[in-house]
Amino acid sequence: MNFTAIDFETANSKRQSVCSVGLAVVRNGEIVDTVHRLIKPTPNYYEGINISIHGITQSMTEGEPTFAHLWDELRAYIEGQPVVAHNASFDFSCLRYAMDAYGMAYPRVEYFCTMVMGKKLYPELFNHKLPTMCEHFGVQGLDHHDAESDAVACARLMISMGKQFGAGSLEELIASGGFTAGKLHSGGYVPFRAKKR
């Protein structure tokens, strides 16, 4: 199973205001690399509710690169490979809005959502938030809303689901579970979906 898990945090209510990104790279079902970067947000202001969620403040990101300056580094982890997020509709809207803010073309990406998968495969859970699913699978060490920790937890969830369903690859798990990959491309995007029975 090979993919990259991603998580964004935002500075304010605007989705393009990414202020932190975390990545976890999975090869052959094992996490082999993690990345955490602070980002100077656009627009560059913080709202109290966002600070209360992730603890990042304007002074912490003032000297950091903008998304546009960081994109070449991130692109190497994302473009042309499977990308996983928990609540991918949020994280990929952050990616799209940030790229739109700088007039950048979308990369070609197939993406997957562990939250959508959880809702279909584990309907008995009280909810399908990241901490709840981590508890269900025994994934420990989550520092929720730290982007790197969230990405690592998301990766571990996908690996755990693959093992539980005996899937040797991400594509096999998606097909057996009845899901359709989300797609991001230069012309727009298609969301990740659970197929209707």
Instruction: Write the burial class of residue 112 (CB in 10 Å: 0-12 exposed, 13-18 middle, 19+ buried).
Output: buried
Rounded Cα distance between 93 and 97, Å, is 6
50 token code pair:
């966002």
Query: Other CB atoms closer than 10 Å to residue 23's CB: what's the count?
Result: 23
Question: What residue ranges do the domains of the chain occupy?
Answer: 3-194
Q: Are 156 and 25 in contact (CB under 8 A)?
A: no
Q: What is the CATH number of domain 3-194?
A: 3.30.420.10
Q: What is residue 77's predicted lDDT score, i.e. its pLDDT?
A: 95
Q: What is residue 142's predicted lDDT score, i.e. its pLDDT?
A: 95
Rounded Cα distance between 146 and 125, Å, is 24
Per-residue model confidence as pLDDT tens for the chain (197 residues): 999 999 999 999 999 999 999 999 999 999 999 999 999 999 999 999 999 999 999 999 999 999 999 999 999 999 988 999 999 999 999 999 999 999 999 999 999 999 999 999 999 999 999 999 999 999 999 999 999 999 999 999 999 999 999 998 999 999 989 999 999 999 899 999 998 75
At 120 the three-state DSSP class reads helix
Q: What is residue 197's predicted lDDT score, i.e. its pLDDT?
A: 59
Condensed to tens digits (0 to 9), the pLDDT of residues 82-140 reads: 999 999 999 999 999 999 999 999 999 999 999 999 999 999 999 999 999 999 999 99
